[in-house]
Amino acid sequence: MVELTPALPRQSGRRVAVLSKKPLATYRYDRWLSHADAEVVLFAEDTPAARAFVKSAQHSYPTVPRLFAEWKRNRAVDEALCAEHDRRPFDRIVALSECDVVRAAELRAHLGVPGQSLESATAFRDKSVMKSLARRAGLRVPDHRPVESVSDLMDFADSHPGGVVVKPVDGSGAVDITVLHSRSEIETWMHTRALTSDDPTDYLVEEWVEAPMLSVDGLMRSGKVAAVMVGSYTTTCLRSLVDLEPHGILLLDPDDPRVAAARAYLTRLLRALPAAAETMSFHCELFDHPRYGPMLCEIACRTGGGNVNSMARASLGIDLEQASCLGQAGCAVPVARALPDPRRRYGDLVLPRSPRQLPDGLECDLPGVVRFTARHDDRALDRPQRAAKVSDYVADALLTADDHAGVRRVYDSVIAWLDEHLPPNSGKGS
């Protein structure tokens, strides 16, 4: 991972705990925090790649990183961090993965460590909370409500004949999102999820919004935008998963009216949510409603997936992950460029895993393709043959051109090129 965040003055020594579900070979917290004279104690997910990294001589962590299986559900992670804090207190706790946002906030509250509060973390993680706060601030959001019982869902669906969407309140990557258009579909969904008549659930139901999607990404601090770029999705993440077809984000031209509208909405949204004082990255998805303009889908205090960070490095000159790590560690993060380079547009493309396996050694050298990466797909025969979340992709590309229309042409050329190199069976519905 290229480090492009501006060089910082050396800070006084501090002790920083890092929670990481990220690949350790590319997320070099030890290097990122070296300027702070920080003692970095790493708690990370146990994977073959992580074990190989820890055994190598590549890293400069003062203590051996501690690895944990079943990362998301393993409370031994929290216990180990608390025990280490009791031995010698931590000054900060850093977490870059969305699944660790609330966990890190809970640990800060329990140990009295400064940083993002549990109230703030919850607002950026729980879709019901974030949308209620946005609506209270006068921002347009889809009509929604928590699914606290089967009758709640049925009543809400009856009042929204155009269809509803059911999703986990803390979901990400379009996982477990279902669009329901009829009572029979709702009843089938409830039966599949084994919902009882009166038990509360962890789902949110909202009205179906038929609109293109915008991606708004960058850095925030103290409830204000520090750096931002706005792009349009080529299709929704949910549609990409259902059809097992590529999707991407293409940055918009500076004078595109959607850019100003999205930035204005984001500014008001960050004021409405409990703010962390530290610099953190964000990924916001807005419906671009043809009648009402921007409407909140969701916002998260983490870097967007796919090639969002690569686009930020190219367009803003900022590594969002490195900047967020430094900010959460209590370091000042100066921003040299708050808006994208007006001379170039960037975009990305990701191809979900499907029965259409890529040929070995596939390379793409089309004009406008900065980088194309095909991942070796050595899945077992008993593994599902389709992506379950948007981060499960077998190829991705970083694209560039002079303007948005040009990036769109590059994107379309890569789609046509992929169709030539992939087997004809799309695997839709498999």
pLDDT at 11: 46
- How would residue 193 be classed by pLDDT, with cut points 50, 70 and 90? low
| Whether residue 383 has pLDDT greater than 90 | no
Domain residues of the chain, as ranges? 14-114, 143-207, 213-421
| Whether residue 5 has pLDDT greater than 80 | no
| Whether residue 355 has pLDDT greater than 90 | no
| Whether residue 146 has pLDDT greater than 90 | no
- The larger pLDDT score, comparing residue 356 to residue 331, is at 331
Q: 368 to each of 265, 337, 422, 429, how far by Cα in Å?
A: 31, 23, 21, 32
Residue range 409-419: mean pLDDT, rounded = 95
Q: What percent of the chain has pLDDT over 70?
A: 88
One DSSP character per residue, 124-153 reads TT-HHHHHHHHHHTT-----EEE--SHHHH
Tell me the backbone φ, ψ of residue 179, rounded to 5 degrees. Answer: -100, 130
pLDDT at 240: 74
- How would residue 382 be classed by pLDDT, with cut points 50, 70 and 90? very low
| Whether residue 187 has pLDDT greater than 90 | no
Q: What is the mean pLDDT of the chain?
A: 87
| Whether residue 287 has pLDDT greater than 90 | yes
Strand, helix or coil for residue 267: helix
Distance CA 387, CA 74 (A): 24
CATH topology of domain 143-207: Dna Ligase; domain 1 (3.30.1490)
* pTM assigned to the model: 0.89
- The larger pLDDT score, comparing residue 206 to residue 15, is at 15
User: Does 213-421 carry CATH code 3.90.1300.10?
Assistant: no
CATH topology of domain 14-114: Rossmann fold (3.40.50)
Highest mean pLDDT, choosing among 232-241, 306-315, 418-427 = 306-315
pLDDT at 295: 96
With tokens 């703030």, the residue in question is 120
pLDDT at 316: 97
| Whether residue 381 has pLDDT greater than 50 | no
